[in-house]
Amino acid sequence: MLAVERGLASIERRAGQVDQGVLATGVAAIVAALLVLLGVPAMVTSAAGALLGLALPGYALVRVMFPTGRTEAVERIALVLGVSISVAICVGFLLHLLPIGLSAASWAVALSGVTVAGCVLAARRDRRLWRPGFALPTIPALIGKLPASQLAMLAAAVLLPLVAVFVARFGEGAQPWSGTTTAWLVPTEGGSAVRVAVVNREGRSMTYRMEVGVDGAVVARFDTFGVSSGTRETKVGLPATEGPREVTVKLWRVEDPPEAVPYRTLSVSVSSGGDTLQPGENPPPLLVPPGESRAE
Amino acid sequence: MMTLPRLNVPHVTRDDVGTGLARVVEGIRTGLDGPLGALPMVAFAGSLGLVLIAFADTFERLSIVGPTLLWWTGLLLILCPAAGRLLLRDVPRTERLVTLVVMGLALYGVKVLHSPSSFTMFDELHHWATLQDITETGRLFTPNNILLASPYYPGLEVVADGLVRAGMTAWEAGVVVVGAARLLMVLVLFLLYERASGSARLASVATLVYAANPSFLFFDSQFAYESLALPLALFVVWLVARREQLAQPADAEVMGSRSIARFGLQPTVTSRAGGSLAVPYLATTSSVDRLRRALLTPTTALASATSGSAGSQSVSHVSLPATPVASRLGGRSNSTAAATRTSESGVAMTICLLLATAAVVGTHHITSIALTAFLVVWAFVGIVQRRRGGTGAPGVAGPAVVALVATIAWMLYVASVTVGYLAPAFAGALEQVFNLIAGDSGGRALFSGAAGGDAPVWERILAYGSVLVVLAALPVGLIVLWRRLRRDALAVTLGLTAMLYPVTLLARFTEQGAEIAARSVAFVFIGVGFVVAIAIVWLVDRVANRATAARVRGQERSGRFARSALGLAVVVVLVGGAILAVPHWARMPGSYLVSADPRSIEPRGIAAAAWAARELGPANRFLADRINRTLLATWGRQHALAAVGDQVDVKVPFLEPSLTPRGLAVLRRGAAEYVLADHRLTTSLPFVGTYVERGELVENGPWVAPLPSAALDKWESIKGAHRVYDDGLIRIYDIRELTDARR
């Protein structure tokens, strides 16, 4: 018990000698790595990842390499950024050479490892040389000295870019695009059927009619079906024949006259045999039920 | 007769207007009185500028009138207050630096607002493909056929991959990494220029002028390797300069003190404490020691500086605050400890230097070549200076050799593909420049869009004006540099770099040289910014000195006209840079344009590419135009055939009106499985000059009519080509039967 108490006291004493910035950096690196590894909400892990990738390793290494405070604040910021990015690139190359490769875990362990190692070395130097680490600017104290007009302008300067991003994203979402209907056709695995889909991006509800033919003969007809928006898809079985078959799909808008050129025409060559339908057999009555259409 | 109701308008007198204006002026003055000076105002103006630009982008998207005026107003709000403040003499160093950071990030914001949720720039999509490869495989160096060099210089994608794996989207990771790079760039540029000139004021103006280079606004803000490599390269150069400083005797620790004395401009190095010293305004070389003593012993500065005149020149005293380093050095007593610390810092700088050099070499080919060239020239200048009895730059040769060996080794053993990728472009450009000089070929028309959309006249005038201002300032700056800074190897190297600017202008008149000139401007402007800033500061101070001298003689001479002219010239350079940054049709997002890079990236093309990924699976071999090729490679994760990347002449089967045996042979050699035909291509000339690849221009010259419909319609009648996707304009054909490429 006495040994434990003595150990705790020793840790407490040693911790007291470590610069708070170094201690905080080491702890932050470990916490950030844990957050990334645990996969907590993306917003949290993103922030942790940005710290781990762009700030913490550089801070720790700069504290190790420049312990005497001979660099000024601006130089230190540049060093922290530059070293962090350089370390991230070099660590990435190193991970590529290792069997584990680049993954969330390898990144988190490697970068937090570099940071913690840097912090330990910095703490050891701190104890040996013992002088205070470099202080961060006292922003709250500075804010207290600002006149109201400057404070208001600074607050607006921080908020307005967020407004700008909101406006830009609104514009991007509201940009008008010419509406269209997309149709596509792909054979299924094994070639026993084809999948046909109609995607309505016209900006309004549409009603279509469609024919599916094999080697010129209609095997499926869909007289009227509506698509409010999104995709309607169906699978049409193919008659079993030998050799490649040419499957064609013709799609009309319901308002088009019967003899009109199809609105969309598709075709595909299916080489392996199908067995689900025989020539003349009734095709499925309609595409998938409306509830199964998926939004694009 | 009907009488109009009388409006009750309050009577406003001239006095009222005067009072109102006085209040506004007083308000601005009060705003400047705070501890942050004009910084809040500059930051507010910059943010407001971003909002205006966001509205301009939105108006352009929604086809509402007035976006151009809004966009330029927004940009001027970002640039002008910052420029005005930086040109002033009595602005503290910290305020200058933060003003530059605010301006630099705001200019980066202009690009972010252009594409606020996904990558839309052409090069960005290429690098996104490489990032996707890394994220999917967990390995580097997966070949990327649409940009061969990218996987072998994956520094940017490596950093972004770390953030993507932490939970960010690729776009978010790109914005954060390039944003951090932009911050690094502004800080390091300032520190580098300050080291070379010894003046925070000159350094801030030089960084401002650098921001006027056409690559700064968009090209070096996009998710592409140069955007990260260039800041890292500048970081290396600054580390070398800083290490050089540490290697010098202890008193040389005072940043740029020799340069301050030689240069003789107003030094405005400011301490954190805000303490200031008085030094001769027009110091000469003979005052070096006095100036050093002044910097090292703040309390005696005034007496020291004023006790002797600087030669026969008139002396006016201005404020030079003490550097924190100087203060510390002044108080240091143990010289051995100082030497040890200098040595430790030197070793630390060397470690940082090696790390950063490795990062640059693994991030971008051109930047690593440019970095190596800069260091070699710097070392060479140092050798020449040492032979002439100067101190030179003895510590530069080592980093130069390291950079040279690393760059060559990387190119030979890792990225050997780069040589074949870069060499033809450089050779072609050089040949065309020589032909132009010899009069064997005509020049390329500037400012004329390939699709006929010429830039507005006022833009052309300002763009030419900006180039002329830079060209006029260069000799002035170079002369002043030679007179005052020629003993500083770094300053001389920056001057030599600036002298390349006219050569890049010449290359702009050639087809192949234009792109290289556009790419090189970001490097050449590192020198141009410095030299032009020397000219600007020298002229501003000269005007001010003359006005002061005239006042002393009792004459009326405000120098207002000259100051206004100089201010206007700076604005012209800044605005001209923004005009030259991108063609006017690409400046804002908007409706679809044919082969117009960011303006061609829209939901329809993305939907087709996404369909290919979903329904066909990855890595099918596609033939497509240049825009859909990038969409297929990124959104679609397909293998879209490219001339350089796949060594097949993709333009032949794509552009010919009917499929010839040659075209079929190309398709078969490329094992093409699908063709994407975008019928919008037939509606206009290509805005960037080509539909498929650059070879079109080399073989056939510029397009004079839109792509014939037959080129895209031919797939309808070709046996073995099946239309499997159709949205009315974009059609995808399965041609596996035709090319025997069935899996």
pLDDT confidence of B740, banded at 50, 70, 90?
confident
Number of C-beta neighbours around residue B16 at 10 A: 11
Q: Which residue of A has its CA nearest to B114?
A: A168
Asked if A266 and B725 come within 8 Å (Cβ–Cβ), the reply is yes
Q: Which residues of B touch A34 (CB under 8 A)?
A: none
From chain A residues 38-57, the ones with a CB under 8 A of any chain B CB are: 39, 41-46, 48-50, 52-54
What is the C-alpha to C-alpha distance for residues B24 and B481, in angstroms, rounded to an integer?
41
Residue with tokens 């100067």: B390
Is it the case that residue B152 has pLDDT exceeding 90?
Answer: yes
CA distance A3 to chain B (A): 39
Selected for mutation to probe chain B from A52, A62, A70 (highest B CB count within 10 Å) is A70
Residue with tokens 């993103």: A46
Structure confidence at residue A98 (pLDDT): 96
Confirm or reject contact between B158 and chain A (CB < 8 A). Answer: yes
Residue with tokens 């999104």: A230
Q: Which residues of A touch B43 (CB under 8 A)?
A: 153-154, 157
Asked if B167 and A49 come within 8 Å (Cβ–Cβ), the reply is yes
Q: Where are the beta strands (DSSP E) in chain A?
A: 180-187, 193-201, 206-214, 217-227, 230-237, 245-253, 264-270
Asked if A81 and B187 come within 8 Å (Cβ–Cβ), the reply is yes
Average the pLDDT over A267-289 and give the result.
57
Structure confidence at residue B444 (pLDDT): 60
Is it the case that residue B372 has pLDDT exceeding 70?
Answer: yes
Q: Which residue of B has its CA nearest to A63?
A: B348
Long-range contacts of B679-682 (CB under 8 A, 24+ apart): B679/B709, B679/B712, B679/B729, B679/B730, B679/B731, B680/B592, B680/B594, B680/B729, B680/B730, B681/B594, B681/B595, B681/B625, B681/B706, B681/B707, B681/B712, B682/B706, B682/B707, B682/B708, B682/B709, B682/B711, B682/B712
Asked if B33 and A147 come within 8 Å (Cβ–Cβ), the reply is yes
Asked if A50 and B351 come within 8 Å (Cβ–Cβ), the reply is no
Asked if B358 and A86 come within 8 Å (Cβ–Cβ), the reply is yes
pLDDT (tens digit, 9 = 90+) per residue, B200-256?
999 999 999 999 999 999 999 999 999 999 999 999 999 999 988 877 765 444 434
From chain B residues 401-460, the ones with a CB under 8 A of any chain A CB are: none
Q: Which residues of A touch B34 (CB under 8 A)?
A: 145-147, 149-150
pLDDT confidence of A72, banded at 50, 70, 90?
confident
Selected for mutation to probe chain A from B44, B119, B175, B230 (highest A CB count within 10 Å) is B44
What is the C-alpha to C-alpha distance for residues B244 and B238, in angstroms, rounded to an integer?
10
Structure confidence at residue B129 (pLDDT): 97
Residue with tokens 């052309």: B460
Structure confidence at residue A265 (pLDDT): 95
Measured in degrees and rounded to the nearest 5, phi and psi for residue B100 equal -65, -40
Q: Between A36, A46, A168, which is nearest B172 by CB? A: A46
Q: Which residues of B touch A269 (CB under 8 A)?
A: 720, 722, 734, 737
Q: Between B58, B158, B734, which is nearest A168 by CB? A: B58
Asked if A167 and B58 come within 8 Å (Cβ–Cβ), the reply is yes
Find the range with the poorest average confidence among A92-101, A197-206, A233-242, B90-99.
A233-242
Q: Which residues of A touch B363 (CB under 8 A)?
A: 89
Is it the case that residue B13 has pLDDT exceeding 50?
Answer: yes
Average the pLDDT over A135-151 and give the result.
71
From chain A residues 204-243, the ones with a CB under 8 A of any chain B CB are: none
Average the pLDDT over A146-161 and give the result.
91
Q: Are strands A217-227 and A264-270 parallel, antiparallel or unpaired?
A: unpaired
Tell me the one-letter amino acid at B506: L
Selected for mutation to probe chain A from B26, B47, B118, B251 (highest A CB count within 10 Å) is B47
From chain B residues 313-372, the ones with a CB under 8 A of any chain A CB are: 323-325, 328, 341-342, 344-345, 347-348, 351-352, 355-356, 358-359, 362-363
Selected for mutation to probe chain A from B64, B139, B724 (highest A CB count within 10 Å) is B724
Q: Are strands A264-270 and A245-253 parallel, antiparallel or unpaired?
A: antiparallel
Is it the case that residue B453 has pLDDT exceeding 80?
Answer: no
pLDDT (tens digit, 9 = 90+) per residue, B240-299?
999 888 777 654 444 344 444 444 444 443 333 333 333 333 333 333 334 334 433 333
Confirm or reject contact between B728 and chain A (CB < 8 A). Answer: yes
Identify whether the C-beta of residue B390 lies closer than 8 Å to the C-beta of residue B487: yes
pLDDT (tens digit, 9 = 90+) per residue, B602-646?
999 999 999 999 999 999 999 999 999 999 999 999 999 999 899
pLDDT (tens digit, 9 = 90+) per residue, A212-227?
999 888 888 888 888 8
Measured in degrees and rounded to the nearest 5, phi and psi for residue A176 equal -75, 140
Considering only CA atoms, give the Rg of chain B: 29
Q: Between A160, A176, A178, which is nearest B50 by CB? A: A160
What is the C-alpha to C-alpha distance for residues B271 and B303, in angstroms, rounded to an integer?
20
Asked if B589 and A175 come within 8 Å (Cβ–Cβ), the reply is yes
Average the pLDDT over B734-743 and give the result.
83
From chain A residues 78-137, the ones with a CB under 8 A of any chain B CB are: 78-79, 81-83, 85-90, 92-93, 96, 101-104, 107-108, 111
Measured in degrees and rounded to the nearest 5, phi and psi for residue A57 equal -60, -40
pLDDT confidence of B16, banded at 50, 70, 90?
low
Q: Which residues of B touch A164 (CB under 8 A)?
A: 47, 50-51, 53-54, 109, 113
Residues in chain B: 743
From chain B residues 206-265, the ones with a CB under 8 A of any chain A CB are: 228, 231-232, 235, 238-239, 242, 246, 253
pLDDT (tens digit, 9 = 90+) per residue, A43-55?
999 999 999 999 9
Confirm or reject contact between A139 and chain B (CB < 8 A). Answer: no
Q: Is A243 left (phi over 0), alpha (psi -120 to 50) or beta?
A: left
From chain A residues 152-171, the ones with a CB under 8 A of any chain B CB are: 153-154, 156-161, 163-171
Residue B391's DSSP bridge partners are none
Residues in chain A: 296
Is it the case that residue A164 has pLDDT exceeding 70?
Answer: yes
Maximum average pLDDT range among A33-42, B135-144, B316-325, B552-561: B135-144
Structure confidence at residue A237 (pLDDT): 86
Selected for mutation to probe chain B from A121, A151, A153 (highest B CB count within 10 Å) is A153
Packing angle between helix B67-87 and helix B39-61, nearest 10 degrees? 160
3-state per-residue secondary structure call for B682-721: HHCCCCCCCCCCCHHHHHHCCCCCCCCHHHHHHHHHCCCC
Structure confidence at residue B35 (pLDDT): 77
Asked if A93 and B362 come within 8 Å (Cβ–Cβ), the reply is yes
Asked if A50 and B176 come within 8 Å (Cβ–Cβ), the reply is yes
State both tokens at B247. 């290697």
From B146, B140, B179, select the one nearest B161 (Cα to Cα): B140
From A51, A62, A83, select the one nearest A133 (Cα to Cα): A62
